[in-house]
Amino acid sequence: MQLLYLFIAFLVVLCDQGLKYYISHSYMLGQEHTLIAGLLSFTYVKNSGAAWNILTGQMLIFYIISIIAIIACLYFLYNKKYNNPIFKSGIGLVLGGVIGNFIDRLHLKYVIDMIQLDFINFNIFNIADSAITVGIILIFIYLIFFSDKDEK
């Protein structure tokens, strides 16, 4: 069953890296393209930090955090104690997102971001960031609503 969640992670990495490749080869740095007026745009930016550009240029910290996160995700995927599909889907999304951004950091020394929500003032992000966010939300849903039931 872990193969399903590893496949989810693989799809996240594939989509994330595919879009990053497209953006980096089709857009000039800083170029913006509206997809849905007032809602969604692509803007090509390079992010050498984490969310909101914190810890800019601290690649060693990001390498260590990424490796620890990948190991933790694999532990939870393969641990029989955690067998809830909501939890494991969340772990698969987080794993894919961490790997997607880790590939950029290793290869480029920065992360390519491109998704911009035009209806709110929010940072530009990528598919990997989205997968990590949705994955963490699913993990919290499991912890809040289902973990007690699984323990009984």
Q: How confident is the model at residue 49 (pLDDT cuts 50, 70, 90)?
A: confident
In a domain, 51, yes or no: yes
* Domains of the chain: total: 1
Q: How confident is the model at residue 86 (pLDDT cuts 50, 70, 90)?
A: very high
Active-site choice (104, 118, 129, 150): 129
Q: Is 13 exposed, middle or buried (0-12, 13-18, 19+ CB in 10 A)?
A: buried
The band of 59, judged by pLDDT with boundaries at 50, 70 and 90, is confident
**Residue at 28 is within a domain:** yes
- The answer to the question of residue 81 being in a domain is yes
| Residue 151 forms part of a structural domain | no
Structural domain boundaries, residue 116:
2-145
Residues 101/128, Cβ–Cβ less than 8 Å: yes
| DSSP single-letter state for residue 48 | S
* Torsion sign over Cα 70, 117, 42, 5: positive
150 within a domain of the structure (yes/no):
no
Report d(CA 43, CA 27) in Å as an integer: 8
Tell me the mean pLDDT in the region 7-12: 98
**67 C-beta neighbours (distance < 10 Å), count:** 12
118 is a catalytic site residue: no
Q: Is 104 a catalytic residue?
A: no
Task: Report if residue 35 sits inside a domain.
Answer: yes
Catalytic residue among 113, 118, 148, 150: 113
